[in-house]
Chain A
Amino acid sequence: MAERVLMKGNEAIAEAAIRAGCKHYFGYPITPQTEIAAYMAKKMPKIGGVFLQAESEIASINMVYGAAAAGVRVMTSSSSPGISLKAEGLSYIAGSDIPALVVNVQRGGPGLGGIQPSQSDYFQATKGGGHGDYRMIVLAPASVQEMASLTIKGFNLADKYQMTSMILADGTIGQMMEPITFEDAEIENYEKPWALTGTNCERKHNIVNSLYLKPEELEVKNFERYEKYKAIEENEAMWEEYMMEDAKYCVVAFGIAARVAKNAVVAARNEGIKVGLIRPITLWPFPQKAIKEAADKVNGFISVELSMGQMIEDIRLYTESKKPVALCNRCGGMIVSPDEVLQSIKNAEKGVF
């Protein structure tokens, strides 16, 4: 049997990053993700890496920008308000087409909000946050094991497509403890001929920059980038389907909400209600295909979210409004209960959306 250890979600991210070859961490503490920084502070000096607590979130994302330009695997982590501060840097990194990993262990908002778990940064992660036309690959773990495996996947995808991968977790998965293994980790390595590694006077120098003096060139750059995004939408969407074969109703939920929803699906099945679950693992690219196919089969959808309803807009978009979509939600740091989800499923069966 593979060696198993008991880890907190936040620690699993840090350990997975180190195993993926990340030797550069820049961050600033904020609850509920501080264990990532604490783990890095303890481990990085022992492996010859860099742990640096920057003077602010803005400084830390720009340190990530610099290290990424030099071609090393680099990451930062924060929680909701801290990610807002990093937004400018995220846009610059996107505009420079360089890879980085950014972790958001979400807490309640808006504003300073609270420290309890939330999923209300879905819009910020999948639709922008920073300025300009850009995307980030957004991965939504639903277990401590996935905190580790999606961190490694995130580094791989970031290098493959020269862009930012974001781990969009929440306070509960960050703090909860589960046994995990690292032995299945598949670490991919990519050449980085664009990196600023010094020319040694042997090649033309590289430039990493997001400023374009000619609008014609900037437009072409955006066109090229969107070709890349299109390929990612076609090839990289990940999701889990649970009891969808004969389902008449489809619950859609990610992260911690998906775990609660799964318990409710089991409870509803025990009462004879044919309901299934689609759990998006990538939030961008959104699993459009799974939702589109389900829209032709089921009578309606229930979006379970720890927000005022953000992913529900994507569900409506990709069902092309063919079927009704209900919202079952809590917010502000509160977690939806299996009973609340079960009630929504029962309402859907009665045609109440």
Chain B
Amino acid sequence: MEHKRLTLFAGHYGSGKTNIAVNYALLLASEGKKVCIADLDIVNPYFRTKDSAEVLEKAGVELVSPQFANTNVDLPALPAKAYKLVTDKKTYGIMDIGGDDRGAYALGRYVPSIKEENNYRLVFVANCYRPLTRTPEDALEVMREIEAACKLNFTDIINNSNLGEETTADTVLASQDYIKKLSEISGLPVFAHTAVSSVAEKLKGKLDPVISLDLQKKLF
């Protein structure tokens, strides 16, 4: 898998951006790269990158998240340090962008620098089991709304089709027609497929490449 210096994950809310961003950061770190991940989610104060702070730190991944993340302050402000991702060109940068067009506005301020460097991937996270992106056409509509908001065009699609804990290899395989159609109507390549590690095992030889995800432990 070829990596760009900057990888930006955007998509419909609840499509799995945060989990993918965290796992992709860990993947790059495991290849010995210097990695920094920034939480640019200004929309949703629940379930954030910061929840994975411990595992990221252990892997040597630097985490930039809003000062008030995981507190009671619902303040849509980004830390100045997030600029590090576009200015520090020796580090692989990963941006976890908030859901839908509303979340993508936050990316806009970094776009001139991102375009100038031109070594990035803006990845659309797709899950065909989410009700508002149930058809490729619906997903394309969300893509266009996000592009209009952040003023940057998508370059790739990542297939994160899943049904949470009920996901099996068949769940992922059943999404192939959808993802091919989305790729066709958007003109974008499918960068990778994803699945939790137990399911990813079973997809070997059937889909390529598959990024294996480790999710946080659930207490309820």
Contact = CB atoms under 8 A, between A and B. Distances in A.
A82 B104 CA distance: 28
B127 interface: yes
Nearest to B72: A114
Contacts of A333: 72
A42 B127 CA distance: 18
A308 interface: no
A177 B129 CA distance: 11
Interface in B118-132: 127, 129-132
Q: Which of B46, B129, B220 has the most CB of A within 10 A?
A: B220
Nearest to A333: B72
Interface of B is mostly: loop
Interface in B162-177: 162-166
Interface string B130-152: 11101000000000000000000
Nearest to B166: A179
A114 to B, nearest CB: 3
A31 B220 CA distance: 21
Given A114-B72, A337-B219, A179 B132 contact: no
Contact of B132 (A39, A108, A260): A39
Contacts of B72: 108, 113-116, 333
B45 A32 contact: yes
Given A31-B45, A260-B219, A260-B220, A5 B134 contact: yes
Contacts of B184: none
B13 interface: yes
A42 B132 contact: yes
B166 A4 contact: yes
Given A32-B45, A35-B13, A114-B72, A5 B219 contact: no
B74 A115 contact: yes
Contacts of A42: 132
Interface string A263-282: 10000000000000000000
B46 A177 contact: no
A116 B165 CA distance: 24
Contacts, number: 67
A176 B127 CA distance: 16
Say whether chain A's binding surface is mostly helix, strand, loop, or mixed.
Answer: mixed
A256 interface: yes
A256 B164 contact: no
A251 interface: no
Contacts of A8: 13-14
Interface size class of B (residues with CB under 8 A): 20 to 34
Nearest to B162: A6
Given A115-B74, A175-B47, A179-B163, A11 B131 contact: yes
B45 A6 contact: no
B135 to A, nearest CB: 12
Interface in B153-193: 162-166
A43 to B, nearest CB: 8
B143 to A, nearest CB: 15
A107 to B, nearest CB: 9
A6 B74 contact: no
A32 B46 contact: yes
B131 A5 contact: yes
Given A31-B45, A259-B220, A177 B132 contact: no
A121 interface: no
Contacts of B14: 6-8, 11, 177
B220 A6 contact: no
Nearest to B15: A6
A349 interface: no
B132 A263 contact: no
Given A335-B219, A337-B219, A115 B45 contact: yes
20 contacts: A4-B166, A6-B129, A6-B162, A6-B163, A7-B131, A11-B132, A31-B45, A31-B74, A32-B45, A39-B132, A113-B72, A115-B72, A115-B74, A172-B46, A175-B44, A176-B47, A179-B165, A256-B220, A335-B219, A335-B220
Interface of A: 4-8, 11, 15, 31-32, 35, 38-39, 42, 108, 113-116, 171-172, 175-179, 256, 259-260, 263, 333, 335, 337-338
Shortest beta-carbon contacts, A-B, top 10: A114-B72, A259-B220, A179-B163, A175-B46, A6-B129, A260-B220, A179-B166, A5-B131, A115-B74, A179-B164
Given A175-B46, A175-B47, A259-B220, 14 more contacts: A5-B131, A7-B131, A11-B14, A11-B132, A31-B74, A38-B13, A115-B45, A115-B72, A116-B72, A172-B46, A176-B47, A179-B129, A179-B165, A263-B219
